[in-house]
Amino acid sequence: MEQQELLKLIIVILAIGGLIALLGGILTLISNVFSGEAKSVQKHAAKLAEKGFGEELSGALGNASFLIKELNLLIETKRGIGMALVIIGGIMLTVSVYFLTR
């Protein structure tokens, strides 16, 4: 295998990896938006918080606020992973296109 062929193979592998990372990041971000589980947990936590206000159950209110904070942290983490994959995939694709057109 010549040096040029090997270089082209590496660039194509880089492009495929970038495309996979980009699509994975986009799918992660989309699944984050349409997650039914997240919406369901938020509804139940809001109901629990209302119950805590109405009946002055400080324990229920504390648990509901903890649940909401943890859910938001989970969503932010998933969003961060998705954005990182999109950025890394974009960089890999840009580098591979640069070297292919050079």
Q: What is the pLDDT of residues 10-64, one digit of tens each?
A: 999 999 999 999 999 999 888 866 666 666 666 666 666 666 555 555 555 566 6
Q: What's the N-to-C CA distance of the chain in angstroms?
A: 20
Angle, in degrees to the nearest 10, between helices 58-101 and 3-33: 150
Closest to 14 (Cα-Cα) out of 73, 99, 71, 102: 99
| Res. 93 pLDDT band, cuts 50 70 90 | very high
pLDDT tops 80 at residue 5: yes
| pTM of the complete model beyond 0.75 | no
Residue 82: both structure tokens together: 């998705």
Q: Distance between alpha carbon 90 and the CA centroid of its chain, in Å?
A: 15
Q: What gap in Å lies between CA 34 and CA 41, rounded to an integer?
A: 13
Residue-range domain boundaries for the chain: 36-102
